[in-house]
Structure 1
Amino acid sequence: MTYMIDVLIVGGGGAGLRAAVAVAEEDPALKVAVVSKVYPMRSHTVSAEGGAAGVIGLDDTLDEHCYDTISGGDWLPDQDAVEAFVAEAPRELMQLEHWGCPWSREPDGRVAVRPFGGMKKMRTWYAADKTGFHLLHTLFQTTLKYQDIIRYDEWFVTKLVIDDGRVHGVVAVEIRTGRIETIPARTVILATGGCGKAFPFTTNAAIKTGDGMTLAYRAGAPLKDMEFVQYHPTGLPFTGILITEAARAEGGWLINKDGYRYLQDYDLGTPTPTPKLRSMELGPRDRLSQAFVHEQEKGRTVDTPYGPVVHLDLRHLGAGKIDARIPFVRELCRSYQNLDPATDLIPVRPVVHYMMGGVHTDIDGATPVAGLYAAGETACVSINGANRLGSNSLPEILVFGRRAGVAAAGFARSHRNGEPSCVRTQGEDERRRLERARGGRGHGERIADLREQMQHTLEGAAGIYRTGDALAKAADALAELRERAEEARVDDTSTTFNTELISLQELHAMLEIAQTIVACALNRRESRGAHQRTDFPVRDDEAFLAHSLVHRAPDGTPSVGLLPVTITRWPPGERVYGRD
């Protein structure tokens, strides 16, 4: 590259595209580039089905949305960030309306909202059950209005160029040709999503390999709250495809092998014919996934070739309501399970869905590395704390994607220096490293075998329930896997679509992320939200009402500390569901 990018965005999903639009609106003179390893409309945002939370009803308040989010996160969210998020979410959703997002409507023309887990009011906007698809399509179409936004589709970023505590660009590989380029930039926004593919059973697309998190971590930015991994309670067995929470919001029931609505046994309320807010099937995801484990231990789940399941029952809703409100659920069940939810039970089990942790940022997406920002699931602001409420993630990528874009634009305007020499030297070093990896190595283990061992190690130790002994053994196993991965076998020496080279970089990234998850989980000697230690089964606010902050030590190992939670108005209390 012969010219400087002002704001370079890594990731073309919802957060990345919202940031790109924000920069273009903030200052049309700035050069903006979006670098994505897939075409934007193949980003994982399209998989978000259920909806986007934003206060709109006259019976709802910003304070109530704040409280639901903070209590849902088991009092680990930073409350100043939550207040800003809740205040700005409705404006962002309305902005999407102006850009053309086809929100579902009531007969009188009002935007339709549905209930969602852990929320005391109906505030989840939706576009049938393809909300993420329509949101991303709207953002993508909006970026096309700004013809100066440069797109690098199917480019994979392998390194941030860092010098003297500041980012100066990236090194990236064009997947189609194998060309390796250094792209100088005044600021970089990381928006590559989470790292669900570090686990064997996940709703996440194949691209969710922790790229942005690892880039920041290696560049000196700490990661935060990495022990908190969300299991969604309703994934299809074998595929891991999500059955949206909207299915329960519309009245679906979770039943065990005896046809019993088992959630009533886990302090989540009593059964009602129609959904009751913050109760039973509309409890928070962490509690519902934990209830599944207890049902399994009691022998009340259903055995299948793909593991134990319970059933999601939509039969009483009828085909008409299913087709009107959650048609994609019916489409998925027919395509992947050969069943019709209007007449058949849907087998489901908990599945890794979302990472509450990510790159440590402030409320504007800034990391401790000057000029480096992060947004969306890549970042941890933190508004989600120990457990994210469903339908908060889509407005989160909008609110903080915009904030990161505006902040990065301001930084770029005030730092108009030319290209430093480190861009060329670090870029050349990275090019040589990648070419050596692409040169072919015939004596190590296969990448796929190492990846599978990592996934099962992580699932076994850092799943829904954890113990210190299992985590300590996993830490040793992951360290050994990292060493073995350095000698992984690469057979493909070509330059064109060398996906084996990309898979190797992704494996290295996921192994580092896996180590941070285990290290933070081992350090947090309590149970809170999605992090449940059977050897420390009680929440300990005195010692652990704090974020985990993990830095990469000089030897590449994770070093964990604590950072106090910001509390503004809501002191810690009991998480109550089904009783309020």
Structure 2
Amino acid sequence: VLLATGGNGRMFRITSNAHSLTGDGMALAYRHGIPLQDMEFYQFHPTGLYGLGILLSEAARGEGGYLLNKDGERFMSRYAPTLMELAPRDMVSRAIYLEVKAGLGAGPLGDYVLLDVRHLGRAVIEEKLPDITDFARVYLGVEPLTEPVPTQPTAHYAMGGVPTDLQARVIRDERNTVVEGLYAAGEVACVSVHGANRLGTNSLVDLLVFGRRAGRAMAAYCAATTMPEVAGDAEAPVRAEIEALRDRPDGESPVELRADLATLMMDNVGVFRTEPMMQAAVAGVAEIKERYGRIRVRDTGKVYNTDLLEARELGYLIDNAEAMATSALARTESRGAHSRDDFPERDDAGWLKHTLAYRGEAGPTLRYKPVTVTRFEPKPRTY
């Protein structure tokens, strides 16, 4: 079996992820005793369309686009004076957060910054940045040729996920014990090629390299083994869960509950984190999980029931959220995409290790395993 279900960005209010990315594969593994690894490391892309999260890629900044605060200042000069707008995604996202927090955000609510490409000229904008400019025109009614584009950080990519080895085989513990016959590749998996912070385009490694390795390993495994026995009622627990959703006469709205979860995670386990924020997230997710046991769906049909599908996806998101919030709260340092105001420095002596979050009745249990350091040792980032 190969898990290739993608990421879990839909647990956040503002995200670049497709509506289908609800952490299904991660939650299925988690529910069957497999830990989720390094869930605290989640990348926020600095330039998403304001209010929507649709990605405006690095191409705009690569061509020379500026990021401006409400005063028209290129504020990245105060955060990364060498690389400016081309600093790593997490640094730019944090800079935007700090500008907004300092009252320098643009717009009526002061909650975004501006991506300015006007100085690049029509030829560059139309020929090299067609997708970016079309998004701005279609979704925000903004003309990039004559006005800057409102942007804000958007939840983009999970560095954590189902732990695997280099052959894409799922592993279940800190001893790297392999789960026979189970594989994972893509964003659902955590091979940890990205460590705590992915570089742009390196998701292709997850997809192409480990997708290929998974396919080859699965073919070899199938050729060398026999079909295992499958219980005749293997589907019974899932069927019971689905029927309970269909048959419940009244209860909470999954739509409202999902919105509550997305706001909770965006506000408390986002670009910047503190202990009180993450404690609120852990408690809030636990409350939402309890409320989830009382939800009902309006559409009780058995054919193409998207209401039922989204209700079940909400359960997956809740599992992902509790693992992420708990793992983030426990890591008392800042590393890669995990940035804490109350612990701003990296702590290699105490925290150069992977987090393994196991599902439990009273919430996740955390265990750890060491990071394998080969050629490149961790070093401070200076830009």
If the TM-score is normalised by the length of the shorter chain, which range does it land in? over 0.9
SS of the residue 1:371 aligns to: strand
Whether the 8 Å CA contact 1:224–1:360 is kept in 2: the answer is yes
Whether the 8 Å CA contact 2:246–2:296 is kept in 1: the answer is no
**1:88-487 equivalences in 2 (<5 Å):** 188-266=1-79, 268-270=80-82, 279-304=83-108, 308-368=111-171, 369-418=179-228, 420-422=229-231, 424-439=232-247, 441-487=248-294
Instruction: Provide the rounded CA distance (Å) in 2 between the counterparts of 1:339 and 1:483.
Output: 42
Q: How much does 1:324 deviate? A: 2.0
Q: What are the ranges of 5 or more consecutive residues in structure 1 without an aligned counterpart?
A: 1-187, 271-278
1:570 aligns with 2:376: yes
The two structures have a TM-score, normalised by structure 1, of: 0.63
Quote the residue 1:85 is aligned against. Answer: none
Instruction: Provide the rounded CA distance (Å) in 1 between the counterparts of 2:362 and 2:102.
Output: 42
What letter is aligned with 1:248? R
What letter is aligned with 2:294? E
Instruction: Tell me the C-alpha RMSD between the 2 structures.
Output: 1.5
Instruction: Provide the rounded CA distance (Å) in 1 between the counterparts of 2:22 and 2:238.
Output: 20
Instruction: Provide the rounded CA distance (Å) in 1 between the counterparts of 2:69 and 2:278.
Output: 30
Whether the 8 Å CA contact 2:254–2:292 is kept in 1: the answer is yes
What letter is aligned with 2:279? A
1:561 aligns with 2:367: yes
SS of the residue 2:193 aligns to: coil
Q: How much does 1:493 deviate? A: 1.3
Instruction: Provide the rounded CA distance (Å) in 1 between the counterparts of 2:3 and 2:37.
Output: 15
Q: How many residues align?
A: 376
SS of the residue 1:213 aligns to: helix
Whether the 8 Å CA contact 2:357–2:364 is kept in 1: the answer is yes
Instruction: Provide the rounded CA distance (Å) in 1 between the counterparts of 2:257 and 2:322.
Output: 15
Quote the residue 1:99 is aligned against. Answer: none
Q: How much does 1:436 deviate? A: 3.1
Whether the 8 Å CA contact 2:67–2:75 is kept in 1: the answer is yes
Whether the 8 Å CA contact 1:202–1:240 is kept in 2: the answer is yes
**CA deviations over 1:314-341 (Å, ceiling 9, x no partner):** 1121121122222111211111121221
Instruction: Provide the rounded CA distance (Å) in 2 between the counterparts of 1:436 and 1:465.
Output: 38
Q: How much does 1:434 deviate? A: 2.0
Instruction: Provide the rounded CA distance (Å) in 2 between the counterparts of 1:377 and 1:442.
Output: 37
Whether the 8 Å CA contact 1:442–1:491 is kept in 2: the answer is no
SS of the residue 2:235 aligns to: helix
Whether the 8 Å CA contact 1:194–1:354 is kept in 2: the answer is yes
Quote the residue 1:34 is aligned against. Answer: none
Q: Percent identity?
A: 45
Structure number with bigger Rg = 1
SS of the residue 1:335 aligns to: helix
What letter is aligned with 2:246? R
Which aligned runs of 4 or more in structure 1 are off by greater than 3 angstroms? none
Aligned mate of 1:551, from 358, 362, 375: 358
Instruction: Provide the rounded CA distance (Å) in 2 between the counterparts of 1:370 and 1:486.
Output: 32
1:510 aligns with 2:324: no
What letter is aligned with 2:2? I
